[in-house]
Amino acid sequence: MTKQTKDQNETTSDFDSEIESTQAKPHTSGHSLLKSCTPSKSIEAKSRQQTIVKRPGANEPFTVSKYNIQLACIVTARGQRGDQYQGEVYHPVTEEIQGGSGSSCKCITFHLCVSVTGEKLLLPQKLSAGSSWNKSMEAVIDAGRKGAITISSDQELQQYSATESAAEIPDTATAEDLEELCNKAFSELIIDRTDHRVLRDTLGLPGFMDY
């Protein structure tokens, strides 16, 4: 056995033992990525995702297409600028790594939507129970499939609501659009290694690789 191979084996063993010490449980409802997702070289991955994975503005009518994908993700905060929350970053986790991610993986459906301007985007819907925000998003998705709507949020009630819109939005969404947006939004944020910094940070373990 070469020194390099020995070091790699020791690293894997150390990770496995650390996982056991956190009593992490396998995530049972995860979903694999689109097969076509491949790593890209852009260093602007988070910023690019923010332009694709989002909720339309309160005054921006949109429709929800029949195309969507469910991914097991670790969700991290983008941070805050003053008092303004900057949103979330979604890191898809491959099936091979999900077992070591504990309860950190969240199953999220990303719905392909079309805005009144013709822009195509991915609207995230968290599927975990017990949240009024998540529950109310179900009604928004259903309404958006029937016709154009706008979405608003009520901080007091902690829920989203949909309002019908008179806007006419052609149904131009395709499976190819979903595939293309997923590649752009997620390809460089995929967690496919046990030494990925986001995974280890989430589990409270020392990090090795920087993405």
Distances (CA, A) of 172 to 58, 64, 141, 180, 207: 22, 11, 17, 14, 43
The stretch 21-39 carries a mean pLDDT of 37
In a domain, 175, yes or no: yes
pTM: 0.76
In a domain, 15, yes or no: no
In a domain, 141, yes or no: yes
In a domain, 13, yes or no: no
- Do strands 62-77 and 88-92 pair parallel, antiparallel, or not at all (unpaired)? antiparallel
In a domain, 211, yes or no: no
The pLDDT confidence band at residue 208, using thresholds 50, 70 and 90, is low
In a domain, 161, yes or no: yes
| Among 70, 64, 54, 59, residue whose Cα is nearest residue 173 | 64
| Among 172, 174, 173, 178, residue whose Cα is nearest residue 37 | 178
Res. 102: pLDDT tops 90: no
Q: How many structural domains is the chain composed of? A: 1
User: What pLDDT does residue 82 have?
Assistant: 53
In a domain, 17, yes or no: no
Report the mean per-residue pLDDT for the chain. Answer: 79
The domain of 63 spans 24-34+42-199
User: What pLDDT does residue 173 have?
Assistant: 97
In a domain, 205, yes or no: no
